[in-house]
Amino acid sequence: MARPLHWLATATAMAAVIATAGLVQPATGTPAATPDPTANGPQAAAPDAAAVTYPLDCNGAPQAVTATAQGDLDGDARPETVAAVRCEAGSGTPPHAIYVLTQDRTEGARPRVVATLLDTGKRQTVTELTVRDRVVTASLLGYSAPAVPRCCPDTKQLAKWRWSDGKFRQELTDSAARSV
């Protein structure tokens, strides 16, 4: 049976391991295998989220881009932009839509929406949006029941999407929404 002294010794050992890990630093310098991103000329710029007309009906109210993230999602060496967009409302918490934007290689081409990852019909609000390792991740706030006031989301969920076989597929995440 574990005694308090045993737990104290275990906690002390764990603290020492964590402290030691914080002191160990990675090697400095750039590995020889890392390609120079400017070697093939300037990199393409990610599409400008403010230059797009979104397929979001706001009944005359303006649209607002509240978060963006950029990265190469489809492996073509050109960055895409992911945008969280909602209607500007006077009160409450309007739901977001999440769109993926791309831009054709031709000069003067405008950015355009190529995919909708989250529709406003889901009635969720985006609090964080990232693109890392070709995966879009969003933290979403929502409502546990229709009676919950629209000002006060009471659930939180993590959603992820990855480009696969020519379309975005939502990956398994914590599908059970948690209370906020």
Residue type, position 11, single letter: A
H helical segments located in the chain: 4-23
Planar angle of CA 22, 23, 29, nearest 5 degrees:
105
pLDDT at 135 over 90: yes
User: pLDDT tens-digit profile of 71-89?
Assistant: 999 999 999 999 999 999 8
What tokens were used for 104? 């054709």
pLDDT at 168 over 90: yes
Q: What separation, in Å, do the N-terminal and C-terminal C-alpha atoms of the chain show? A: 38
DSSP strand pairing (155-164 vs 135-142): antiparallel
pLDDT at 174: 63
By the 10 Å C-beta count (0-12 exposed, 13-18 middle, 19+ buried), 129 is classed as buried
pLDDT at 5 over 80: no
Window from 20-34, 91-105, 134-148, 155-169 with minimum mean pLDDT: 20-34
pLDDT at 4 over 70: no
Share the mean pLDDT of the chain.
Answer: 79
2 conformational bin, left if phi > 0, alpha if psi -120 to 50, beta if neither: beta
DSSP 59-86: TTSPEEEEEEEEE-SSSSSS-EEEEEEE
Residue type, position 54, single letter: Y
75 conformational bin, left if phi > 0, alpha if psi -120 to 50, beta if neither: left
